[in-house]
Chains A and B, each alone.
Chain A
Amino acid sequence: MADSIYPRLIGARLRSQMSYRASFALDLVTQVLAQWIELVVILVLFGHVSALGGFTKDEVLLMYAFAGIAFGIADLFAGQLDNLPTYIRTGTFDVLLMRPLGTLPQIMVSDVRLRRVGRIIGAIAVMVYALAHVGIGWTPAKVALTIATPLAGAVIFGAIWVVTCSVCFWIVEGREFANAFTYGSNAFTSYPVNVYSAPLRWVMAFIVPGAFVAYYPSLALLGKQDPLGLPGWVGWTSPLVAALAAVVAGFVWRFAVRHYRGTGS
């Protein structure tokens, strides 16, 4: 994006949120806490067992943190897609089509809520804790992987969001369906993949590439074998999978918008 319009559109959104400073601060804290409440579930679980699918508490926390950061970033930009049914019903989507910009980026910057950053902050704190406790043999490549993983994960989540929300162009109230995948895959990715049943695992690893958000990269960082037998290099392919997911999502969106303009409102 060579033009500077999208940062400006985001800036405009942020300015209007900052005008309510007190409620903004409160929202932010609430979001950090919300992220940590999910953490409690994991901690309680490990109060009863010492390992989950062969992973220690700190290792699971690392996956949870990666998934949390990735989901937080994706939610910041793609969460707006939840408004798509309203956009279609009220004709706001037509307004987006009137402008000399792409529809998807316009929606993504339409409602960036900075308070969602709270979730990301909360998850980063957990990541820092987990990284300090799991004992990783650090190499430059692993440092790069640690940084790339949440970003690639965010792209994967974003792609899931775009693809599933595209359903709304056919079924206007398709939001529940979409949310099952977006929020559902967030829950899925926070735990080691091998605790799930085989069909779900298979779908989440390769159809909806949720397992590439946290599970496989964590294996690579921890230097662990995949209990399910996939080779070790798989953990390094998340950025590639993310790029592929983004391309697929782009095509699906274009197809959906073409459908809308072809048989639209």
Chain B
Amino acid sequence: MIEVRELRREFKVATSKGLRRNYRTVTAVDGVTFDVAAGEAVGYVGPNGAGKSTTIKMLTGILVPTSGHVRVGDIDPSKQRRDLAKRIGVVFGQRSQLWWDLPLGDSFDLLRSIYRVSAEDYRRRLDECVELLGLQEFLITPVRQLSLGQRMRGEITAALLHAPELLVLDEPTIGLDLESKERLREFLADINTRRGTTLLLTTHDLDDIERLCPRLMVIDHGRVLADGPLEELRAEVTPDRELVIDLREPGPAPDVPGVTAVRSEANGLRHHLTFRRAETTAAQLITQVVRQVEVHDLAVVEPEIDDVIRKLYQRELDQDIRR
């Protein structure tokens, strides 16, 4: 569905110094290579200014690459922007493609004409989105009067009316409350699995990734730092897992080979132990622990996805320093 090879994009940034204007070249995307197969759901994450939006703008034909190769559904986005537009849907969390002072339903109707969707297909797709996203009562509300959450549901419906093969979402959950976020995630997961719509989304909310994207791409300074299933990245970057045990009676931490007692709480009632996921399994460890101490409760804690990404950045930073 998406084929990107050595994609680069530079910007000239004016730096005014007195009356003289100098131009500095900033590389926003610096040799990015990846593929996304049809039906995948991929999370594209990175800090602000990492090059996420620039990549997305090149994939959707808004910006022309400085160099490199892009194909989206076998189309070159920079050359055939309009052909591509018919086959993909794009949602920008921070800008609207709806008509501000028209009722939401009128916006949908106009988009139907713009994308030349048959009345029958339109009805079916709209009804489905309206039902799943609970938009029924808002169809006659002018867009400017919608809440952010309602509007985002409208934006996503708008992007899906022409049944795109690929849906690109730039920060779709930004600024939404928890309930709205959850509702959107559920809906997106549904169209990905049921309709087979390919998803590519950028986000700062890592719960989006956890819920929606089996695959994660991390970008920083215009380069892809990591690309793979979340689980793999986690194992690679944070090889330690943590076992938390609550004892019945306060006591010292159990002494098991290959396990480090990190800290204890509540006067020795609770202990945090870390172990290498490559060397031992949680099950083996628990068997050994319960032989030594009387355990009231225990839990295996996976590193938070934030930690995974923070470690990826850190690793990149260390490499930069070493260079």
A residues touching B (Cβ–Cβ < 8 Å)? 3-5, 8-9, 12, 15-16, 90-92, 94-95, 97-101, 258, 261-264
Contact = CB atoms under 8 A, between A and B. Distances in A.
Contacts of A97: 60-62, 81
B134 to A, nearest CB: 25
B136 interface: no
Given A91-B95, A94-B95, A16 B101 contact: yes
Contact of A101 (B11, B60, B97, B114): B114
Contacts of A5: 110, 113-114
B12 interface: yes
Q: Sorted from nearest, which 6 A-B pairs have the closest CB atoms?
A: A100-B85, A100-B82, A91-B95, A5-B113, A97-B62, A95-B97
6 contacts: A94-B57, A95-B95, A95-B97, A97-B60, A99-B114, A100-B114
Contacts of A101: 82, 114
B102 interface: yes
A187 to B, nearest CB: 33
Given A90-B95, A99-B85, A261 B78 contact: yes
Nearest to B168: A98
Interface of B: 11-12, 57, 60-64, 78, 81-83, 85-86, 90, 92, 94-97, 99, 101-102, 106, 110, 113-116
B62 A261 contact: yes
A8 B57 contact: no
B309 to A, nearest CB: 26
A90 B86 CA distance: 24
Nearest to A92: B95
Nearest to B12: A263
Contacts of B95: 90-92, 94-95
Contacts of A261: 62-64, 78
Nearest to B65: A262
B102 A15 contact: yes
A220 B139 CA distance: 56
B102 to A, nearest CB: 6
Contacts of A90: 95
Contacts of A263: 11-12
B116 to A, nearest CB: 7
A167 B32 CA distance: 32
B165 to A, nearest CB: 14
Contacts of B85: 98-100
Interface of A is mostly: helix
A265 to B, nearest CB: 8
Given A8-B113, A97-B81, A16 B102 contact: yes
Contacts of B83: 100
Nearest to A11: B110
Contacts, number: 64
A4 B83 CA distance: 18
A95 B102 contact: no
B12 A264 contact: no
Contacts of B110: 5, 8-9, 12
Contacts of B116: 3
A81 to B, nearest CB: 19
Contacts of B92: 91, 94-95
B64 A262 contact: yes
B28 to A, nearest CB: 11
A12 B114 CA distance: 13
Nearest to A5: B113
B11 A98 contact: no
B12 A95 contact: no
A14 to B, nearest CB: 11
Nearest to A16: B101
B275 to A, nearest CB: 48
A91 B94 contact: yes
A83 to B, nearest CB: 13
B93 to A, nearest CB: 11
A90 B96 CA distance: 10
Contacts of A15: 102, 106
Given A94-B95, A97-B62, A98-B62, A4 B12 contact: no
Nearest to B162: A100
Contact of B86 (A12, A94, A100, A262): A100
Nearest to B82: A100
Contacts of B90: 98
Given A16-B101, A101-B82, A94 B114 contact: no
B293 to A, nearest CB: 59
Contact of A4 (B96, B113, B115): B113
Contacts of B60: 97-98
Nearest to B107: A12
Nearest to B60: A98
Given A98-B60, A100-B115, 16 more contacts: A3-B113, A3-B116, A8-B113, A9-B110, A12-B106, A94-B62, A95-B95, A95-B96, A95-B97, A98-B62, A98-B90, A100-B114, A101-B114, A261-B64, A261-B78, A262-B64
Pick the most buried of B60, B85, B102, B114: most chain A CB atoms within 10 A of its CB. Answer: B114
Contacts of A4: 113
A261 B64 CA distance: 6
A2 to B, nearest CB: 11
